[in-house]
Structure 1
Amino acid sequence: MAINASGKSKKDDFPWWLVVAGGLAAGVAVLIASSGLHAQVFSVISKGIGVTVFVTVVGFALATALGLGIALMSLSGSLALRQTARFYVEIIRGVPVLVLLFWIAFAGVPLVVSGWNALTMPLQEAGVLGELRVRDISLLWRAIIALTIGYSAFIAEVFRAGIQAVDSGQVEAAKALGLTRFQRFRLIVLPQAIRTILPPLGNDFIAMVKDSSLVSVLGVADITQMGKIYASGSFRFFETYSIVAYVYLLLTVGLSLALRALERRMRNSQARR
């Protein structure tokens, strides 16, 4: 009998939970296909899938870029940059995402618009630029900005930990070979750090899929908002929110399985070297 690294047989590691979950998912799919009511609920809710995916992908991409920048600031030789990065991470992580969403949407964006108009007043008077209005920035993009800022603080810590996990001796050896700081980061640090960073980064992506449901409080037409609209008009709360949960589970469990497969592939690739 094959034994894995933890001392358990492959039979013990068989994903029975996935078999049960797959059976339940198939049962719900049959119910949706055969029931006119459930098919109608699913049809309405599915209109929000594109918005949910867009908010998650764009928000996570921006949060990853910003988080990497904050992580590099926290590892900088400059005390001012390190303290600025630490201030950002601690403050943002201490604010709930929902509160941050409200603040960005109804306080932060109007503040930025007012500041922009004040700075560009001469250009506006000369007719070069038009006045920027708060309503010019859609609630969708306000939600994306809020998720970007909220998650960037957590992603920054993931990058920082992954970069610091790389053996400093290899960095010193690369420095002795004459590699520039950027070359050391691109060729030595990042390829090794990514193996440490990938699992928690994937978990953050899955978490953002779920937290993207918070944008419904701003009226953004995502999966949750479409469910709220249908349930409030039909009073079919059980059917509606059961299918909302079903759609989110399909997204998150599917992403979790894809992430595990990628991790196994990376481990096997590393073992063959």
Structure 2
Amino acid sequence: MVSGFNLDWGIAIYALPLLLGGIKLTIIITIAGLFFGFLLGAAAGLARTSKNKPLYGIATVYVEAIRGTPILVQALYLYFGVNQLLMQTINWKIESVPAGIIAIAINSGAYIAEIVRGAVQSIDKGQVEAGRSLGLSSFKTFYYVVWPQAFKRMIPPLGNQFIISLKDTSLFAFIAVGELLRQGQIVISATFAAFEIYTMVAVLYLAMTLSISTVLRFVEKRLDVS
């Protein structure tokens, strides 16, 4: 038995307000990043279904490059690599929080692109032909017939991506973003209570992901997603 090792959970309770502040920033970065990630992913996903070769090629390079590299590398490249270039050229830099949002947007966008592509291509072509036979334009057929059904099928994987991106924000502690993990590290540096604080951080992440999963199951049930 190791002597002199005493757990003090009071430190974790005392640090809870600071950790909750980190949760707030974690959620803001996740939601903002996924908002822009969905826009980027939807555009790339639709481009991946296009017969336009340049659009298809650009979207494919983006998806494969981002999915083939870790988000931590992407965040470090953006915050240190791109910022170095920006400082040398226009004397301006991307701050840590915007860098985190951009990293989530770019990373999640590549995965959302495949979600969009798969959902759109899963719609039976007969429905497209039916819409066209009714006199709808290609755009209106897509907007009124294909997209609503495809979006319904996207809900479960989009929910999973939300959880993945939320957990990925913990990596932004490496670029000094004050999210949940970073706040925990700050407390540990002052108290040396690593076991207690990291346990509390893990519990808070688990509480967030379980809450999101519960909401998603409710939404899927209400919308009868299958």
TM-score by length of 2: 0.91
Equivalence for 1:61: 35
Higher relative contact order (CA closer than 8 Å, sequence separation 6+) = 2
Within the candidate set 211, 217, 221, 2:174 is matched to: 217
- Post-superposition Cα deviations, 1:86-132, rounded to whole Å, max 9, x if no partner, equal 11111111010100110111122443566xx6xxxxxxxxxxxxxx5
Residue 216 of structure 1 aligns with an amino acid whose one-letter code is A
Whether 1:195 aligns to 2:169 is: no
CA contact (8 A) 1:72 1:160 kept: yes
- Give SS of 1:257's match: helix
Residue 99 of structure 2 aligns with an amino acid whose one-letter code is R
- Post-superposition Cα deviations, 1:38-62, rounded to whole Å, max 9, x if no partner, equal 3212122112111101100000111
CA contact (8 A) 1:227 1:241 kept: yes
- Post-superposition Cα deviations, 1:151-202, rounded to whole Å, max 9, x if no partner, equal 1111100000000000111011111222122211221111111222110110
Within the candidate set 171, 174, 192, 2:128 is matched to: 171
Equivalence for 2:55: 81
Equivalence for 2:20: 46
- Give SS of 2:224's match: helix
Using the alignment, how far apart are the partners of 1:86 and 1:37 within structure 2? 49
- Post-superposition Cα deviations, 1:3-53, rounded to whole Å, max 9, x if no partner, equal xxxxxxxxxxxxxxxxxxxxxxxxxxxxx9xx6433212122112111101
Task: Describe how 1:60-209 pairs up with structure 2 within 5 A.
Answer: 60-111=34-85, 132-135=90-93, 137-209=94-166
Task: Summarize the Cα distance change of 1:109–1:75 in structure 2 as closer, same or farther, 3 Å threshold.
Answer: farther
Structure 1: 5+ residue stretches without partners: 1-31, 118-131
Aligned residues: 219
Using the alignment, how far apart are the partners of 2:81 and 2:51 within structure 1? 34
- Report runs of 4+ in structure 1 exceeding 6 Å deviation: none
Structure 2: 5+ residue stretches without partners: 1-7
Using the alignment, how far apart are the partners of 2:40 and 2:108 within structure 1? 9
Is 60-69 or 38-47 further displaced after alignment? 38-47
CA contact (8 A) 2:120 2:147 kept: yes
CA contact (8 A) 1:41 1:239 kept: no
CA contact (8 A) 2:156 2:220 kept: yes
Is 255-264 or 79-88 further displaced after alignment? 79-88
Residue 32 of structure 2 aligns with an amino acid whose one-letter code is V
Using the alignment, how far apart are the partners of 2:92 and 2:97 within structure 1? 13
- Give SS of 1:76's match: coil
Q: Over aligned residue pairs, what C-alpha RMSD do you find?
A: 1.8
Using the alignment, how far apart are the partners of 1:161 and 1:38 within structure 2? 44
Task: Summarize the Cα distance change of 1:243–1:68 in structure 2 as closer, same or farther, 3 Å threshold.
Answer: same
CA contact (8 A) 1:41 1:243 kept: no
Using the aligned pairs only, state the percent identity: 36
Residue 194 of structure 1 aligns with an amino acid whose one-letter code is F
TM-score by length of 1: 0.76
